[in-house]
Amino acid sequence: MTHINENEIACCVRNAVDRYLKDLEGEPPCPIYNMVIHSVEKPLIELAMQHANGNQTQAAALLGINRNTLRNKIKQLKIK
């Protein structure tokens, strides 16, 4: 079984944000925090739902969040 190293995820985020900031070339950035959270949250929930075969209770447990929170996020992020 392969485990994702948390430092690997942090490194990916760090590199992506660094590239984003360099690509701005003096233009003002959008709010970075919301951009990163939104970019990570949807695919994370989609993968958890896929891993749980669509079972929201199992996906919520995998994510470590309440099932109602997951349901709200699915609606908010328009996840099918």
Q: What angle do CA 77, 24, 9 make, to 5 degrees?
A: 50
* Claim: this prediction has a pTM higher than 0.85: no
What integer pLDDT is reported at residue 80 of this predicted model?
86
Return the domain boundaries, the chain.
6-76
Q: Which fold would CATH assign to domain 6-76?
A: Arc Repressor Mutant, subunit A (1.10.10)
Q: Report the distance separating Cα 67 and Cα 55, nearest Å.
A: 10
> At residue 1, does pLDDT exceed 90?
no
Question: How many residues make up the chain in this entry?
Answer: 80
pLDDT at 60 over 90: yes
